[in-house]
Structure 1
Amino acid sequence: MATLRETLESGRPTVGGWCSIPSPFTAELMGRCGFDWVCVDTQHGLIGYDQLVPMLQALAITGTPTFVRVPWNQPDHIMKALDAGAQGIIVPMVNTAEDARRAVEAAKYPPLGTRSWGPIRAAFDVEDYSPEVGNRRTVLAAMIETPAGVENVDEILSTPGIDAAYIGPSDLALGHGMTPTLAVREAAHEQLIRSILDSCKRNEVVAGIHCDGVQTVQRWQDLGFGMTTLASDAALLRGTATTAVRQLTGQAEEATGSNNYA
């Protein structure tokens, strides 16, 4: 079974699933869908720590490597998610190199960081788990999604310990005075994304981006993104159910009003 780091460093584009619903059963279902990895979202998802742990357990049953998007760039959020068994952390709203450094400190054991020793689930099924092994296995992705993040992107992504950039297109648009959307249509919005991708290439980190469906995934993979999210469990459930109901009732297809999370 490949680790998250091995999966992302394989050289091929990867497709991830996204868990917003606080349910181990839903997490297990997502883990059985064939995704390369699954992220449990504790920032904008409805998931607290008490649900995070059994969701990571459910995903472990399926052998799917897992990210956790933490609520904020705080050591307790990062350390507890890693101790619970996450192989990777996605940190929102990384605006400066100092933000990136603080995230690395929390995610890495000494001497690379200040992570406290207590891998209560992280060491499960890992032979000879040690601080060095934990540091090597842990993947850290910085979200670039603000004007400050774009301005400082090279300094952020060149920070030792940052393995990937993860773009939130909606917040990226919102902060630049555009309509928040994952279906990027404005030329200026796309140019911002391309500028972050270029920085990923310069700094030799994995380029990741949040998507809203198959066509968007293919669009960004064609440009060189190695880490793409297909959709959330909530959005997939609502979209599939709505389509089926409309087909059965003879209603015309129309937008569901989805905000891309549900």
Structure 2
Amino acid sequence: MTTAEFAHKLRTRQPLLGYWSVLDAPVATERLARLGYDYIAIDGQHGLVGYTGILNGIMAIDAGGQAAGAVRVEANDPATIGRALDAGAAAVIVPLIDTADDAATAVAATRYPPEGNRSYGPMRSGLRLGPRPAEANTATAVLAMIETSRGLANLHDICATPGLDGVYVGPSDLCLAVGGAFPGDPAVTETFEQAVTDIRQAAAQAGIAAGIHTPDGDTAARRLTQGYTFASIASDLVHLEKTAANHLNAARS
């Protein structure tokens, strides 16, 4: 899938399924990118990758030839966002968006002037997203994470931010934001699910994509059925550990 195709499908709210990568293991990432996922997201915030890992991960995804490469950047910072895009990311997922101003800052960092303030230095992204700035602007997607109490309070204003392509739910932080003592706290399940619904509905009203991180394929399918337009599944590290544990248990039994 080309970056332009991915951006078009995202913006037209077509269903998309992605996989989450936290390991700096390009060969593994390339294999994941060949499985049929629409995108592979590299976690630059909490993942075990530095900038070289992000660059190598995007190159591995491109080598896989089927999925688009996305990056969750570590902060809502123009330099950080710009470097992820220069590496060739088709989309950036920006964490901890609390206000419409925060969202506008993220959007501006992904767009070349006059639409934004991205510095022109396409590096390898120019191989796939241009090199004309207007072409890159069209093919680049930006997603705002909704995961804080302030983000929930300003949800509709964030979704209405011009140029924002979608919102993305971080379930762990969102659970804490609605009063959970820990991610997945059953004591706040009802409140959490209402927040998840509110985010989906606000995105739909604004005509933008709504995505969410999920622990497994069954949950991803359920979220898409509920109206989310894209979902990411688990992570490579989680699946590596679970699969290894399952094989060990089977062998010992």
Alignment of 1:139-218 (within 5 A): 139-178=141-180, 179-181=182-184, 186-218=189-221
Moved more, 45-54 or 85-94: 45-54
Matched, 1:226 2:229: yes
Secondary structure of the residue aligned to 1:122 is helix
Distance in 2 separating the partners of 1:162 and 1:199: 13
The Cα offsets for residues 186-208 of structure 1, whole Å up to 9 and x where unpaired, read as: 11110010001110011011010
| Residue identity matched to 1:29 | R
Q: Give matches, 1:71-90, under 5 Å.
A: 71-90=74-93
Superposed CA offset, 1:47-70 (max 9, x none): 100111111111111122111000
**2:106 counterpart of 1:103:** yes
The alpha-carbon deviation at position 114 of structure 1 amounts to 0.4
CA contact (8 A) 2:178 2:191 kept: no
Question: Residues of 2 paired with 1:142 and 1:85: CA distance?
Answer: 19
Deviations 1:87-110 (A, max 9, x none): 100000000011011111111100
* Offset from partner CA, 1:16-52 (integer Å, 9 cap, x none): 0111001211211211121110101010101100111
Matches of 1:71 and 1:136, distance apart in 2: 23
Gaps of 5+ in 2: none
CA deviation map 1:210-252 (0-9, x unaligned)? 00002211111111111101111111111111111111212xx
Percent of aligned pairs with the same amino acid: 37
TM-superposed CA distance for 1:157, in Å, is 1.0
- What's the C-alpha RMSD, in Å, of the aligned pairs? 1.7
- 1:6 deviation in Å? 2.8
Contact map agreement 1:182 1:211 (CA 8 A) in 2: no
Amino acid at match of 1:30: L
Contact 1:209 1:227 in 2 (8 A): yes
Change (3 A) 1:203 1:213: same
- 1:47 is aligned to 49
**Distance of 1:113 and 1:159 partners within structure 2:** 13
Q: What is the aligned partner in structure 2 of residue 119 from structure 1?
A: 122
More displaced 10-residue stretch of structure 1: 74-83 or 182-191: 182-191
Normalised by the length of structure 1, the TM-score is 0.91
Structure 2 letter corresponding to 1:111: P
Q: Select the structure that is richer in helix.
A: 2
**Higher mean displacement: 105-114 or 2-11:** 2-11
CA deviation after TM superposition for structure 1 residue 182, in Å: 9.5
Shift in CA distance, 75/184, structure 1 to aligned 2, threshold 3 Å: farther
Aligned residues: 249
Report if the CA contact (8 A) 1:183-1:211 is conserved: no
- Counting only pairs closer than 5 Å after superposition, residues 241-256 of structure 1 correspond to structure 2 as 241-250=244-253
Partner of 1:17: 19
Measure the CA separation in 2 of the matches of 1:158 and 1:125. Answer: 29
Q: Specify whether residues 205 and 10 from structure 1 end up closer, same or farther in structure 2 by C-alpha distance, changes over 3 A only.
A: closer
Which has the larger displacement, 137-146 or 47-56? Answer: 47-56
Q: Distance in 2 between matches of 1:116 and 1:220?
A: 37
C-alpha deviations, 1:127-170, integer Å up to 9, x for none? x5211001000100000000100110111111111101000111
Alpha-carbon separation, structure 2, partners of 1:14 and 1:105: 25
Alpha-carbon deviation of 1:184?
10
